[in-house]
Amino acid sequence: MNTSVSAARAAGEENVQPPATLTLHRASAEPWALAIHGGAGGRILELGEQADYESGLREAHAAGEAVLSGGGSALEACCAAVQSLEENPLFNAGRGAALAKDGRAELDASVMDGASGLAGAVLASRHAKSPVRAARAVMEHTDHVMIVDPPAQLVGEWSLEVANPEWFVTERRLAQLRRLLDKSESGPRHGTVGAVALDANGHLAAATSTGGISAQDVGRIGDTPVIGAGTYARDGLAALSCTGEGEAFLRGVVAYDVAARMRYAGCDLPSAVAATIEETLTEKGSSGGLIAVLPTGEMVIAHNSPMMFSAYRDGAEVRVHL
């Protein structure tokens, strides 16, 4: 396991016990902040792939920042950033997402608004072109928190774009599925995209979207659409979006565990993240990571996997990690 530590600590946070990699960032002089991730895993990119992934992350971060700089909400910024990643077939969300054993994409997504405490999620979605927009629609247009595979008619009633299930399938993912099914490929098969944001009004939000695990059993659900496991936001506390081995994040209720350590035990964010990753992931042989933002605009990006795609603003520059 990668044991290198990269940390930029704020004053007074010397009690941090970092996981494999934990970084703490102050966004900028702006009254808003945004961090995004494109998944955590073990596959190191080839040199020729890096530019495409970096471009995709920068484009998604710019989409979210455009909302915030225009006075928009943290929730809309998260949805805009995640939707951009869903539309990029390089990432495991939306078009180009991982395929289940039957060769179809079953897409999960969730959102949580820290201001209202409301949340929405879709599970095994096959008809909404943007699963994260469908998750938001569940929150805003129904009395529910979760809906499994909202049908095309309902997606249309939400004024969202409908896509045929085949639209999500790419040749790259089909080829990967064949290799996994015939046992010619092994290694990490998961991946997720997500965003956390603070807006100029001091509100927090989080959004997460995924295709799950390549060659997963039909109907399998991970942590992404489960509020408290893969996504969590509470004004005055933090917003978090997770990525990694979904079953471990479900069992550890990772996003909420971090928030609970802060709220009830008085931990600072880096210490809470470090303890949660160590106890719920590392000690149990699981891997993954998360992004989080505080009401102050400080952001934590942490993972115990060999790599994690992320983007955030550092002063005048947007930094991308692959």
What pLDDT score was predicted for residue 1?
28
Active-site annotation holder among 21, 192, 224, 276? 192
∠ CA 286-277-12, rounded to 5°:
160
Task: Locate 290 and state its tokens.
Answer: 């998360």
| Closest residue by Cα to residue 206 from 251, 243, 157, 252 | 243
Contacts for 21 with CB less than 8 Å, ≥ 6 apart: 2, 4, 5, 6, 302, 303, 304, 308
Distance CA 146, CA 138 (A): 7
- What span, in angstroms and rounded, lies between the C-alpha atoms of 136 and 213? 23
Specify the pLDDT at position 243: 97
Closest by CA to 91, choosing from 45, 23, 151, is: 45
Q: What is the pLDDT along the chain (322 residues), one digit of tens a residue?
A: 232 333 323 323 334 334 458 888 875 678 999 999 999 976 667 777 899 999 999 999 999 999 999 999 999 999 999 999 999 999 999 999 999 999 999 999 999 999 999 999 999 999 999 999 999 999 999 999 999 999 999 999 999 999 999 999 999 999 999 999 998 766 555 689 999 999 999 999 999 999 999 999 999 999 999 999 999 999 999 999 999 999 999 999 999 999 999 999 999 999 999 999 999 999 999 999 999 999 999 999 999 998 899 999 988 899 999 8
Distance CA 106, CA 162 (A): 15
**Structural domain boundaries in the chain:** 22-314
Angle, helices 74-86 vs 131-141, to 10°: value is 150
Name every residue whose Cβ is closer than 8 Å to that of residue 173 and which is 6 or more positions away in sequence: 96, 97, 98, 99, 105, 214
Q: What confidence score (pLDDT) does residue 41 get?
A: 77
Q: Looking at residue 187, what is its pLDDT?
A: 55
The predicted pLDDT at position 27 comes to 59
Predicted TM-score (pTM) of the model is: 0.92
Reference 114, options 69, 62, 73; nearest CA is: 73
* Helices and strands in the chain: count of H runs, count of E runs: 8, 13
Residues 22-314, CATH architecture: 4-Layer Sandwich (3.60)
Is 192 noted as a catalytic residue in this protein?
yes
Angle between helices 269-276 and 254-265 (to 10 degrees): 130
Largest Cα–Cα separation, the chain: 54
Res 43: pLDDT: 66
Q: Kindly write down the DSSP assignment for every residue of 182-243, as one continuous string.
A: TTS--S-----EEEEEE-TTS-EEEEEEE---TTBPTT---STTSBTTTEEEETTTEEEEEE
